[in-house]
Amino acid sequence: MARLCPLASGSSGNCTYISSGESAVIIDAGIPYKTICERVAAVGGDISKISGIALTHTHDDHIKGLKTLLQKTGAPLFCTKESAEHLTAKNMLPGGVSSIITDGERTSFADMEIFRFAVSHDAPGSCGYRIATKSGCCAVCTDSGIITENMRTALLGCDVVLLEFNHDIDMLRRGPYPPHLKIRILSDLGHLSNNAASAEIPALLTSGTKQIICGHISRQNNTPQLAVSAARIAAESVGAKVDIDYLLSAAKPGMSEVSVF
């Protein structure tokens, strides 16, 4: 069986561990290397056996620990050309990285196949990932202002989907953020609201998704309860009952529960 565990999720840092049983990859490294090691060990993994690292984009909350992680593990990095160029320009890639894979939308790490798909965010080359293993597939999709048809196609049929539920629109509009930041978050290059993300839930469930994780939840402009409630109400519109037809959870800023698929 394969496993997915958000090691961190939110504006303070993002990192997701996915294991097939035979190999493992890490998506994003927005927390310190030491913390990544501790949390990988806590779910029974071994950081020295990581097969690859995939990067969604180059904002700080996704790359804080990346350089050290690459240096310590020597694992190959899978990212877009734009992300690789940014990392190189900022001297954020160690000399010992084994390879940087920027060509093509698919790559394989041991017994896992990773498909990269574009998302709509304000970091050049931003993307999400769909990961196929022998036992099933999962997807990580955060940091996007809208859901495009390309994104929707990539998510449908996944057993587990970690999907951004960044903000409650009313909380954001009434909140303390300055106007320019509110405009950025609400834009097509910003972040998904509870409303936008929950609108995808019926199609996901009817396509076979069995576990939904609400991720990248803002501490200032949302709550886990609001995110989960929005997802649950959307699921009920197609007759799906939580804990009966599917599992629903909210990823934490710290380590979250393991999803098995």
Range of the domain at 117: 3-254
Model pLDDT for residues 111-151, shown as the tens digit of each residue: 999 999 999 999 999 999 999 999 999 999 999 999 999 99
> Residue 19 and residue 22: Cα distance in Å, rounded?
7
Whole-number pLDDT of residue 182 = 98
Residue with tokens 């050290």, as numbered in its chain: 68
> Residue 151 and residue 165: Cα distance in Å, rounded?
15
Question: In this structure, is residue 206 part of a structural domain?
Answer: yes
Whole-number pLDDT of residue 98 = 76
Q: Which residues of the chain have pLDDT under 70?
A: 96
Question: In this structure, is residue 259 part of a structural domain?
Answer: no
Question: In this structure, is residue 67 part of a structural domain?
Answer: yes
pTM over 0.95: yes
Model pLDDT for residues 162-185, shown as the tens digit of each residue: 999 999 999 999 999 999 999 999
Torsion of CA 56, 57, 63, 67, to 10 degrees: 90
Whole-number pLDDT of residue 96 = 66
Neighbours of 4 (CB within 10 A): 27
Q: What single string gives the DSSP state of each residue in 143-197?
A: S-SS--HHHHHHHTT-SEEEEE--B-HHHHHHSSS-HHHHHHHHSTTS--BHHHH
CATH, residue 171: 3.60.15.10
Question: In this structure, is residue 261 part of a structural domain?
Answer: no
Burial string for 145-181 (b: 16+ CB within 10 Å, else e) reads bebeeebeebbbebbbbbbbbbbbbebbeeeebeeee
Q: For 156, list phi and psi in degrees, rounded to 5.
A: -60, 135
Question: In this structure, is residue 211 part of a structural domain?
Answer: yes
> Residue 197 and residue 227: Cα distance in Å, rounded?
9
Number of domains present in the structure of the chain: 1
